[in-house]
Every structure is written in C-alpha cells, then in structure tokens.
Amino acid sequence: MSLLVLLALIALGMWFHQQQSALSPAVTAWDEAGVSAAKQPSVAAEADDAGLGHLQPDGYAVMSPPEHFTPENLYEKINGRAELYLPAGFLSLQTIRFASRASPGEWFELFVYDMNTPLQAFAVYSSQRREDAVASDLTDFSYSTPNALFFAHGRFYVEILASSPSESVLAAMDTCARRFIVDTTERAGRIEELALFPPEGLVPDSVVLLIADGFGFEQFDYLFTATYESYGVAVQAFLTGRPTPGEAVALAAAYSEFLIDNGAVFQETNVSVPGALLYNLFGTYELVFSAGQFVAGVHEADSPEAAERMAAELYHRITRNR
C-alpha cells in the first residue's frame, strides 16, 4: 500500500515537472524581456545616476528620470544602433532630459556612453562624425550640428540632442557639456596614432578608428583610417599597431593574402617603402607595408601613383615618429 502511495506521489511530481517544462518559449521571452516594462520605471530606478542630475543648467529642470542601460538592454534605448556600441567595448549608458522652465517645449537629452577606454570612446565618436559638423572647443574630439553636440572625453562618448535648434537650448546644452567635462574625474587621453598621419592634405577630422573587421578583414582590429585630398584625388590611408614588429610583418602578409583571396592582383611597384606590396583590386589600388610595430597602407586609391605617393608620405611619417 505504501508503495502505491509513493508511486502516486512520484507520478504527481513528474506531472508537475512536465507541466513546468512545457512553458511556452513565449512566456519565457515575455518574462525575461519585461514586456511589462511600460508599467515599471524601468531600469532607471536602479541606475547609478549620481553623475548626471547636477549637470542641470540654470533655468532648466529635470524633465524625466535618469535612465541607465547595460550591454544587456542597450537595444531598448537605441534599438539597432546598439550593434555599433557593443562590439566597441560599451559598458553603460546613462541618459537624462532637461527642460526649460520658461519654455517647457524646449528640452534636450544627454547621453553618456561609458566605452571603457579613451580609444573605444574615440572609435564610436569618429565612426559617427557628421560630415557637415562644426568643430567645437569642448574637447579635442568634439563638434556641433544645428541641434546637437557630440564629443569624446576620456572613456566617455557624449551626445546632447535638442528638441529644437533654438539659441537658448543650445546654450544650455553647452553649459551642461562643460560641467560634465569639468566634473568628470576622467581626463582626456592622448591618442598617439593620430600623430602618425601626415598633416599635409589630411581632410580635417577625417580620422576614424575601426575597432573590428576593418575593410572586412577580421584581423584588422583597432584600425585607424584617414582621408586625404591632395593632387586633386581622394585617398584613404590606414594604420594599426601590433605589440611587436614581427607581428606587424605577419599581419601585413595576412592582409595581402586576404586581398588576393578576394580577387586582388599583385602589381610591381617602385615606391620607396621597404617591403611594400601593391595590388589592383577590380580597378582600385591597395598598398600595404609594415614599419616597426605598425601595419599601414593605402585603401581604394584611384591610381597606383596616388597609392604610392600616399604610402611614401605615411611611411616616412611613421618612421620619423617612431
């Protein structure tokens, strides 16, 4: 009899287990995602927002509670744009909105991305830089557009977006930005690689840092690119550092193989750069070399002469500054 009772209890337990295991994936997704986020104050309530509220400019009030996002939920705030930040080392995002007390319709939102390192902050800053931006004196890496301020400061990448491009709200944004810079213990980091690009012909603010998969080549991480306009043609130079010269040589060879695998044809060159390799890739020209611990070259030049000229200037600049 006791055995029967025991068996009944076991069967009951198994039934419960089966029922629980059969929960729809939709339910799981539902719970994890917090579809009910709308009825909660969201993650903002748990945020460490100590650094933002005090940035409130005179005449402005906090319009909505600060929000805090992590790599797990960044997409909730910026949707598909999260894919740009996450591979670049994103740690967190804090946001807050301030509205004018006099004109509540005038407001701005502050986005502070903690990218962990100055290099990574520069990467997301440089890859989104607007073409018609106006240089700003906020930091070494800063600009404005008619309705927004963008800058990198230490490990932070900051965006401040206005509801409308009025002079008063833009002035308040500038105040907020300067307070952030002064109050942040983080200090601007120097990016040594920028000095390795020859200044002659360099398009201002054209240097971009690609954190991963530069030119579609997966070994090209932390790749700096710069655009030049000289002799009437546009040319893109690039460089990336490796821990040792040996690794730089190996990476240059790997990139050459990558080019050949993708249809590039080797072409003789007399450029005065030791070990330089020139390729014709469907009508554009790629040139790659190593100099010390750097791999550098020219990408998608219109002619072999343009590639060679740029490569020579880049090589001499790198070797002089090494």
Closest by CA position to 223, among listed 200, 190, 248: 248
Asked whether the beta carbons of 148 and 134 are under 8 A apart, the reply is no
Q: Which stretch binds another protein (CB under 8 A): 14-22, 46-54, 117-125, 270-278?
A: 14-22
Measured in whole angstroms, the distance separating CA 58 from the mean position of its chain's CA atoms is 32
What's the Rg (C-alpha) of the chain?
27
Cβ–Cβ under 8 Å, residues 285 and 303:
yes
45 is written with which tokens? 């309530």
Residue 83 beta carbon to another protein: minimum distance, rounded to whole angstroms: 5
Q: Which residue in 161, 194, 202, 260 binds another protein (CB under 8 A)?
A: 161
- Work out the number of other CB atoms within 10 angstroms of the CB of residue 129: 14
- Binders of another protein among residues 20 to 79 (CB under 8 A) are 22, 24-27, 29-30, 32-33, 35-39, 42, 64, 67, 75-79
Q: Which stretch binds another protein (CB under 8 A): 2-10, 118-126, 201-209, 257-265?
A: 2-10
Least distance (Å) from another protein to the CB of residue 41? 9
CB nearer another protein, residue 106 or residue 313: 106
State the DSSP code for 192.
Answer: G
Q: Which of 14, 15, 17, 305 binds another protein (CB under 8 A)?
A: 15
Phi-psi domain of 51 (left: phi exceeds 0; alpha: psi -120 through 50; beta: other): alpha
By CB under 8 A, tell whether 148 contacts another protein.
yes
Out of 126, 142, 163, 290, the residue judged to bind another protein by CB under 8 A: 163
How are the residues of the chain apportioned to helix, strand and coil, as percentages rounded to the nearest 5?
Answer: 40, 30, 30
**DSSP, residue by residue, 256-297:** HHHHHHTT-EEE----SSTT-EEEEETTEEEEEEEETTEEEE
Q: Which of residues 287-316 bind another protein (CB under 8 A)?
A: none
Q: Please give the residues from 77 up to 136 whose contact with another protein meets the rule CB under 8 A.
A: 77-84, 109, 128, 130-133
Region of 147-155, 246-254, 282-290, 295-303 interacting with another protein (CB under 8 A): 147-155
Which of 270, 108, 225, 120 has its CA nearest to residue 173? 108
Give the tokens for residue 90: 């994103």
Q: Which of 103, 136, 145, 269 touches another protein (CB under 8 A)?
A: 145
142-150, 237-245, 268-276, 278-286 -> range binding another protein (CB under 8 A): 142-150
Tell me how far apart the alpha carbons of residues 267 and 277 are, in angstroms, rounded to a whole number: 8
Instruction: Tell the residue number behind the tokens 């029922």, with chain if given.
Output: 19
Nearer to another protein, 5 or 182 (CB): 5
Shortest Cβ 40–another protein spacing (Å): 10
Nearer to another protein (CB atom), residue 68 or residue 317: 68
Nearer to another protein by Cβ, of 1 and 50: the residue is 1
Give the nearest distance from C-beta 310 to another protein in angstroms.
26
Number of residues assigned to the chain: 322
Up-side HSE of residue 277: CA atoms within 13 Å toward CB? 20
Binding pattern to another protein, positions 259-288, x when CB under 8 A?
------------------------------
Token representation of residue 85: 């930040």
- Site residues, another protein (CB under 8 A): 1-2, 5, 8-9, 12, 15-16, 19, 22, 24-27, 29-30, 32-33, 35-39, 42, 64, 67, 75-84, 109, 128, 130-133, 145-148, 150, 159, 161, 163-165
